[in-house]
Amino acid sequence: MPLVIFVDDSETALASTRMVTNSMPIEVKQYTQAEVALAEIKAGMIPDLIITDLNMPGMNGFEFLEGLRGVPSTKRTPTLMLTTETKPELKQQGKALGLTGWIVKPFNPAQLKQAITRVLRLPA
């Protein structure tokens, strides 16, 4: 089963993503701190998809993405940004860091499910 990790400092956002993914054929791990998720990845966890917020205390989403790209096992892992930010320059910065996609909060549950299904090539 594919492993998807969500990183968001908002418990509400994590609860919303949990509702979307409960019926999907994926394993989900959630983190409220990017530093903790990155440490687990460096220790050997290999996610198939990473979905992260941008604005978080401590390590933000871009710093997390830079850290991921420095780990051989996640150098090319698909990564989606799930954030309230809509500025084109931020999207460009994410793209330059190898971001796969950008989903704006509040998100449409069907849109998130479709993005996960498409990236992981799950049956529709």
Interval 52-96: pLDDT, tens: 999 999 999 999 999 999 999 999 999 999 999 999 999 999 999
Buried b (16+ CB within 10 A) or exposed e, 3-27: ebbbbbbeeebbebbeebbeebebe
Predicted confidence band of residue 24 (pLDDT cuts 50, 70, 90): very high
Predicted confidence band of residue 124 (pLDDT cuts 50, 70, 90): confident
Is residue 103's pLDDT more than 90? yes
pTM summary value:
0.95
Domains and CATH numbers, the chain: 3-116 (3.40.50.2300)
